[in-house]
Amino acid sequence: MNSSVYERISYADRLHRVKQDGLFLKFIQNQDKLICFEAIKNNPRALKYAHHQNEEMCLHAVSNCGDLIKYVHERTERICLAALKNEGLAIRYIDAPTLDMCMTAVAQNGFALKYVHQQTEQLCVLAVKNNPYAIRYVKDKTEDICLIAVKNDGKTLAYIHQQTERICEKAIQSHAEAIRYVQQPSLAMLKYAIKKRPYVIQYIDEANKELWKYAIQQNTSVIKFLKHANETLLAYAIQLNPTSIKYIQDPADSLCKLAISLDYEAIAVLKQPKESLCLFALSKSKDAIHFIRKKY
């Protein structure tokens, strides 16, 4: 759009236009401070097109949208702090930020730590308290800082490579799924995680038969995570809960009969039971017919 067209309208009309739509400032070449400020008051993003800036209009802009500091010509400490209180990540546009600026930034958004080159423990603690995942940007991951992260979200353990038993325990207590990130889990850790959330058994690569049985005891549905069919474990699950047969893909007839013999209603959860299995269910109870009718 040709901005020269708008130069023909009166000053009063231009002022009225920017009061209605601040971004209209883009098309006005003959600007003054009043027009710029009125545009920014309507829409802070008009700062991008302002030919005139002062601290007041910049403060108004960055207080509403911190990222706009990238368009500020003279970035005073006051303007920088106002921007960072609104958007901590705006620190990436500030050259040589002060400690106070860095503290303000990470307090607003923990991920702002990514752009802080001179980190202190206090800064890191503040960042991780704001967002536990900011631990990934901490250069010196002390046990205390790591504990703050994992207590808030155990899955942040994925970014902690120097692990201690205490860090791992707290991570699992916070989130059982954190067990997948423990480098050398103890049996106690594994059992704690499984008891809390049985489905985490799927993340334990070298889970033995006893661990699987322990998980099945907590919730028989975990058999759907068995990568290699183990009839002994499948039968164990069925004995605990006959309807858990539904979690087995293409179960053997022997397993189906075991489920039906323990509870004839198990016929109801089989997708397409064979005629022989239907007859077997009827031999256990005539009431099985109600479930069989629904299949055919």
pLDDT in tens, 90-111: 999 999 999 999 999 999 999 9
Using one digit for the tens of pLDDT, what is the confidence trace for 206-243? 778 899 999 999 999 999 998 877 899 999 999 999 99
Do the domain assignments include residue 283?
Answer: yes
- Predicted local confidence at residue 205, as pLDDT: 79
Do the domain assignments include residue 145?
Answer: no
Query: Which residue type, as a one-letter code, is found at position 101?
Result: M
- Is there a contact between 43 and 21 (Cβ–Cβ < 8 Å)? yes
- Token code pair at residue 72: 């500020």
Which of 82, 99, 100, 102 shows the shortest CA–CA distance to 91? 102
Domain that residue 275 falls in: 229-296
pLDDT at 9 over 90: no
Using one digit for the tens of pLDDT, what is the confidence trace for 31-41? 999 999 999 99
Confidence of residue 50 (pLDDT cuts 50, 70, 90): very high
- Token code pair at residue 278: 């239907």
- Predicted local confidence at residue 293, as pLDDT: 77
Do the domain assignments include residue 242?
Answer: yes
SS3 content of the chain, % helix, strand, coil (to 5): 75, 0, 25
pLDDT at 296 over 90: no
- Is there a contact between 22 and 43 (Cβ–Cβ < 8 Å)? yes
pLDDT at 244 over 90: yes
- Token code pair at residue 142: 């002390």
For residues 236 and 2, the model is more confident at: 236
Do the domain assignments include residue 289?
Answer: yes
Listed range (13-17, 191-195, 203-207, 249-253) with the worst mean pLDDT: 203-207
Which 3-state string (H, E, C) describes 157-195?
Answer: HHHCCCCCHHHHHHHHHHCHHHHHHCCCCCHHHHHHHHH
Most confident of 25-39, 78-92, 275-289: 78-92
Confidence of residue 125 (pLDDT cuts 50, 70, 90): very high
Confidence of residue 292 (pLDDT cuts 50, 70, 90): confident
76 sits in the region (left: phi over 0; alpha: psi -120 to 50; else beta) called beta
- Token code pair at residue 244: 């858990």
Q: Between vectors from CA 184 to CA 183 and to CA 187, what angle results, nearest 5°? A: 135
Measured between alpha carbons, how far is 38 from 57 in angstroms, rounded to an integer? 9
- Predicted local confidence at residue 172, as pLDDT: 97
Do the domain assignments include residue 233?
Answer: yes
Do the domain assignments include residue 174?
Answer: no
Do the domain assignments include residue 287?
Answer: yes
- Is there a contact between 66 and 84 (Cβ–Cβ < 8 Å)? yes
Is residue 287 exposed (0-12), middle (13-18) or buried (19+ Cβ within 10 Å)?
exposed
Which residues have C-beta within 8 Å of that of residue 81, sequence separation ≥ 6? 100, 101, 104
For the chain, list the strands marked E by DSSP.
Answer: none
pLDDT at 288 over 90: no
pLDDT at 1 over 60: no
Do the domain assignments include residue 273?
Answer: yes
Using one digit for the tens of pLDDT, what is the confidence trace for 141-181? 999 999 999 999 999 999 999 999 999 999 999 999 999 99
Q: Between vectors from CA 177 to CA 231 and to CA 160, what angle results, nearest 5°? A: 130
Measured between alpha carbons, how far is 100 from 150 in angstroms, rounded to an integer? 27
Confidence of residue 246 (pLDDT cuts 50, 70, 90): very high
Phi and psi torsions of 290, nearest 5°: -65, -35
Number of domains making up the chain:
1
